[in-house]
Homo-oligomer: A and B are copies of this chain.
């Protein structure tokens, strides 16, 4: 057995998909060469970053989902902490925000324990002064896809 499933999941998280031109053409009742032309234009404008898969995260062992609010110590304001945290594969989304908190992360793991490991290892060292974890009870919609 080649255990291809985890490799597919890895690839599909960030890309390795492509538009279904024929299906779009038939849905919009336009020639496929017209659809092709318009998609290439969108891609060349840089409007499309990736074609990728969205999962049922329970079924790929990432059923535990949290949002984490993070505060950064002032002397780290000019360092790319958010960018560093974004590189963790468990981080689905990351953004810097205005107000009481500095960064918001969305993190998916198998369970609480794995999240706690990440919290200890990656969210407490560096310039992080404070965190607030919002634990997801029910994931309803992610990236415009209903779960």
- Measured CB to CB, the residues of A under 8 A from B are 2, 4-5, 7-9, 11-20, 23-24, 27-28, 30, 34-35, 38-39, 41-42, 45-56, 59-60, 65, 67, 69, 82-83, 86, 91-99, 101, 104, 106, 134-147
| A4-B30 contact in complex given A59-B47, A65-B95, C-beta closer than 8 Å | yes
Q: How many copies does the complex hold?
A: 2
Contact of A143 among B18, B52, B137 (CB under 8 A): B52
**How far apart are the CA atoms of A140 and B143 in the complex, in Å?**
15
Complex: chain B residue closest to A136, CB-CB: B95
Q: How far is the CB of A2 from chain B (nearest CB, A)?
A: 7
**How far apart are the CA atoms of A144 and B86 in the complex, in Å?**
9
